[in-house]
Amino acid sequence: MVAKKQKSNRLIIGLDYGTTYTGVSFCEATDIGSRVPHIEVVSNWPSSYTKVGTTEKVPSEIAYLEDGTTEWGSNIGEKTKRHMWTKLELEESQNREVAKHAKNLARTGQKGSKKPVDIVSDFLAHIRGHLLQVLDNRYGRDLWTTLPIVLVVTVPAVWSDAAKDRTKQAVYEAGFSKAYFPKLENTMMTAEPEAAAIFMIKELRGSIHEDKLKAGDGFTVVDMGGGTTDIASYKVIRINPLVLEEATVGNGDQCGGSFVERAFFKFLEHRLGIQRFIEMAGCRSEDVPRGLLTEGMIKLVQDFIHQVKSVFSGTEKRSLRLPWPLSLIEEDKAAGIRDGDLFMTPEDVQEMFEFPIRRLYELLMEQWQRARENKVKIKQVFMVGGFSESPYMAAKLKDFVEKNGLRSFKAPHAWSAVVRGAAVKGLEGDNRAVTKRKCRRHYGTSCSKPFSYRHHQASDAFIDRYTGEKYANNQMSYLIKKGQDLNTSKETHAQDSFSASFWPGVERQCTWKLFACEADEAPQRSTHKAISRVATLTVDLSKVPASCFEERTSPSGRPYSFVLMEVNISVKSSLEFFVTVNGKKYGTLNAKYD
C-alpha cells in the first residue's frame, strides 16, 4: 500500500546504462520521520523468451528492423542483428579496440548513419517507456507525476568529460526530461564506483559484516562491468552518518567482461582456421563488428556467454555447438571438433580471461601505490559489477587481493550495486556521503603571456593588435591539478579571469577553451601531445551593462571596449560552468565538448 503523498515526498530514479546490461532503480523518499526508504530495482523487463523477464537488468542492445521499427533488450530475436557495446562508442578513444569496432559499425552497416549518441538515445527511450509503465503500476500516474523527481545517472569514473556530456545528451534526448517527467527538478551524474561504495557501506551497517570497516580505514572498490573496469579508493571518516573521502586518484580501463568474447573470437579463428572463420563471421577475428554479427555468430556468442564464460570456475572442460555448415563436421582433431561440437580445455578458457585479469592486477597495483603515497592504509577490497559474478574472475581477484595482504569481499547485490547506489546518492545529495574527491586530471586554459626569450619559443611570439605589446601564445595556465582535493560542498573549485576586447559594432561574444592533461607532470605548452581540449565555452555578453565595459584606445588610435570576467568551474561527477562580470552572473553560456 502506497503512503499518502506528503508535501516533502519526492521520487528518486537511478539509471545505470551499462555496456552489456542496463538497470533502473527508484524509491519514494520523505523528509518526515525516520523510515529508511526501500529501493526498488526494475526486474520485470520484457523478454521474447517469456512474456516478462525477471532479472534486475536488461541487455543494452537495440535492433533496427527493415520495417522501420525497433526491438530492444531481451525482446530481440535470437538471430536478429543488433547494436551492442554502443556505450563504449560514447568514449571516442582512437587508441583502443573499441575505436576499431566503431569504424566497423559505420562501414558495414545497420543504421550506419546513426551516431552512437543517437543509438544510445533510441535504446534509452525504450528504457524510459518501460519505466513509465512501472511507475504507473506502482504509484498511479496521478500520484507520481506530482512528486518532485531527482534523476541520478551513473557513468564510469575514468570517462572523459566529453563522454559524460554525450551520455547526458543521450539521456535527455531519450525523454528523461520534463516532457515525460513533469516534476523533474534535478538530473545529476555520479561515478559508478562511488555509487557502489555508498550503497555497499549502507548495506554493511547493521549486518554481520559491519565490523569490516571503521573510521580511519581505507578500502578499494573494483567495479567490473561489461566494457570497463573502474577502480576507486576511499577513506572512512565516519560510519554513522556515513562520511567518505576519496583517498587516491581513481583509475580504470576498457578491460571489462566483453573482452573475454573478443578473445573467444581469436580462439575460434585459431582453431577453425582463417578461411573457415571468415566463412562463418564474414571477416577476420580482429575485425568482427560486435554490433552486427552474422546469424551463426550471434547464436554461438550467446551460447559462449551463458554456457562457458558465466559459469567457468577454472577447471571445467566445455563444448559448444557450431553453426551450420560447421556443425556437419564429424571429426577434426586438430580443430578440437567432434560431431559438430567445438571442445575447449580449461586452459583454453583461462587464456580468454588473460587480458582482463592482467590489466586488473596492474590497475590495482597502481591504485594501492597511490594510496601508500597518500598515507592511506587500504584494508579491504570490494567487488561489484556484472563481471564480478563470474566465478573464475571473482576467484582470481580474491586470490590476488589476499596475496597482497588485504581482505576481499563481494558486495551484496553485486550486479545491481551501482544502480542501487544511484538511488542512495539521490536521497543523500551530492555532498553528504562523499565530502572530498580527488581530481582525476589537470585542468587549465591556453593563454598568452608577456614574451620572454628565456622561457618561450620564438614560434609562439606575436604582437597584440590592441596593445601593441609582444606576447607568447600557446601557454598553459593550470586551474586545478591532478590529485587535488575537491570539496563537494563548494559551488566553485576554480576560477579563471580572462578579458575580451571588442571593436565598435562587433558582436559581443567570446570563447574560452578548457584543456586537460592525464599525465602526472603537466607540460607548459598547450600544443603538447599530452594535452587535449575538453570543451569550448561560448559566452554571450550582449546583455552585460555598458557600465561593465572599459573604453580604451589602441596604439593606432582606434577605440575599443574592454571587459574583464571570470569563468567559474565546478568539478563534480561532470563539469559545470558559469561566467561572472564584477561578481554577477550575466548572459548565456554554451559549452561544446570535443
Amino acid at 452: S
What pLDDT, on a 0 to 100 scale, did the predictor assign at position 291?
58
Contacts with 517 (C-beta within 8 Å, 6 or more apart), sequence order: 441, 442, 444, 482, 523, 528, 530, 531, 532
Nearest to 218 by CA among 202, 201, 200, 233: 233
Is-contact 38 30, C-beta < 8 A? Answer: no
What pLDDT, on a 0 to 100 scale, did the predictor assign at position 113?
66
Q: Tell me the whole-structure pTM to 2 decimals.
A: 0.86
Cα distance between residue 581 and residue 117, in whole Å: 35
Collect the ranges in the chain with pLDDT lower than 50.
1-7, 32-35, 51-52, 94-98, 101-102, 105-111
Is-contact 231 193, C-beta < 8 A? Answer: yes
* Helix, strand, coil fractions of the chain, as percent rounded to 5: 30, 30, 40
Whether the ω angle into residue 559 lies within 30 degrees of 0, i.e. cis, is no
What HEC string does 242-287 produce?
Answer: CEEEECCCCEEECCCCHHHHHHHHHHHHHHHCHHHHHHHHCCCHHH
Is-contact 225 265, C-beta < 8 A? Answer: no
Report residue 489 as a C-alpha cell: 560542498
In a 13 Å sphere around the CA of 479, the CA atoms on its Cβ side amount to 22
Secondary structure E strands in 508-587: 509-517, 531-540, 550-553, 559-571, 575-581, 584-585
What pLDDT, on a 0 to 100 scale, did the predictor assign at position 343?
92
In a 13 Å sphere around the CA of 179, the CA atoms on its Cβ side amount to 10
What pLDDT, on a 0 to 100 scale, did the predictor assign at position 183?
94
Cα distance between residue 353 and residue 393, in whole Å: 8
Is-contact 170 120, C-beta < 8 A? Answer: yes
Kindly report the backbone phi and psi dihedral angles of residue 169, in degrees, each rounded to the nearest multiple of 5, phi listed first. Answer: -65, -45
Provide the Cα torsion 44, 175, 151, 167; round to 10°: 100
CATH class of 10-192: alpha beta
Handedness of CA 578, 581, 584, 588 (dihedral sign): negative
Q: Where are the domains of the chain?
A: 10-192, 258-354, 439-593
Is-contact 538 592, C-beta < 8 A? Answer: yes
Cα distance between residue 407 and residue 476, in whole Å: 43
Q: Which helix (H) or strand (E) holds 168?
A: helix 161-173
3-class SS at 364? helix
Work out the number of other CB atoms within 10 angstroms of the CB of residue 110.
18
Q: Which helix (H) or strand (E) holds 223?
A: strand 218-224
Give CB contacts under 8 A, 24+ apart, made by 510-513. Answer: 510/538, 510/539, 510/541, 511/536, 511/537, 511/538, 511/539, 512/445, 512/536, 512/537, 512/539, 512/567, 513/445, 513/446, 513/537
Provide the Cα torsion 327, 331, 337, 338; round to 10°: 80
